[in-house]
Amino acid sequence: MLSLLSCSNRLFYSHANVIFSFFFRNSAMDRLESVHYYDEDDDFMDLALSLVPRPRSARTRYPNFDRWSEVEFFHRFRLSKDGVGYVLGKIRAAIASADQRGNPVSPEEKLLTALSFYASGSFMEVCGDRHGLSKSSVCVIVHQVSDAIARLAPQFISLPGCEEEKIETREKFHRIARFPGCVGALDCTHVKISSPGGDDAEMYRNRKGYFSLNVQTVSDADLKITNIVARWPGSSHDATVLRHSSLWRQLTTLGHDVILADSGYGLTKNLITKVRNPSTEAERRFNESQIRTRNVVERSYGVWKRRFPILANGIRVKLERTQAIIVATAVLHNIAILLNERLPEVDAETDIAVDQTMFNNIVEREEMGEEGGVDHRSRFISYFGSL
pLDDT at 121 over 80: no
What's the burial of 137, exposed, middle or buried (CB within 10 Å: 0-12/13-18/19+)?
middle
Question: 85 to each of 65, 121, 297, how far by Cα in Å?
Answer: 10, 22, 28
Q: Note whether 215 and 306 are same-domain residues.
A: yes
- The pLDDT mean for the chain works out to 84
Q: Is the pLDDT assigned to residue 173 strictly greater than 50?
A: yes
- pTM (predicted TM-score): 0.81
Alpha-carbon distance 376 to 379, whole Å? 5
145 assigned to some structural domain:
yes
pLDDT value at 210 more than 90 = yes
- Residue 122 confidence (pLDDT): 63
Tell me the pLDDT tens digit for each residue of 136-169: 899 999 999 999 999 999 999 999 999 999 999 9
Distance CA 24, CA 9 (A): 21
Q: What angle in degrees, to the nearest 10, is found between the helix axes of 81-95 and 107-120? A: 120
Q: Give the domain extent around 324.
A: 163-385
Q: Can you tell me the mean pLDDT for 313-319?
A: 93
- Helix/strand/coil (H/E/C) assignment for every residue in 291-353: HHHHHHHHHHHHHHHHHCCHHHHCECCCHHHHHHHHHHHHHHHHHHHHCCCCCCCCCHHHHHH
On whether both 202 and 253 belong to a single domain, the answer is yes
Residue 264 pLDDT greater than 50, yes or no: yes
Please, which residues have CB within 8 angstroms of residue 79's CB and are 6 or more apart in sequence? Answer: 87, 115, 332, 335, 336, 341
Question: What per-residue confidence (pLDDT) applies to 369?
Answer: 58
End-of-domain residue from the set 151, 177, 201: 151
- How sure is the predictor about 98, in pLDDT bands with cuts at 50, 70 and 90? confident
Q: Are residues 292 and 245 in the same domain?
A: yes
pLDDT of 219: 99
Confidence (pLDDT) at 130: 74
- pLDDT tens per residue across span 317-370: 999 999 999 999 999 999 999 999 998 887 777 767 787 777 766 554 444 556
Residue 353 counted as domain residue: yes
Same structural domain, 261 and 361: yes
Query: Is residue 312 domain-shared with residue 351, that is, in the same domain?
Result: yes
Same domain, 87 and 180: no
The pLDDT score that the predictor gives to residue 13 is 47
What's the total number of domains in the chain?
3
The three-class DSSP label of residue 368 is: coil
Asked whether residue 93 falls in the same domain as residue 190, the answer is no
Closest CA to 230 of 221, 218, 220: 218
Residue 175 shares a structural domain with residue 121: no
Per-residue confidence (pLDDT) for residue 152, from 0 to 100: 99
Q: What percent of the chain has pLDDT over 70?
A: 78
Write down the pLDDT at residue 50. 54
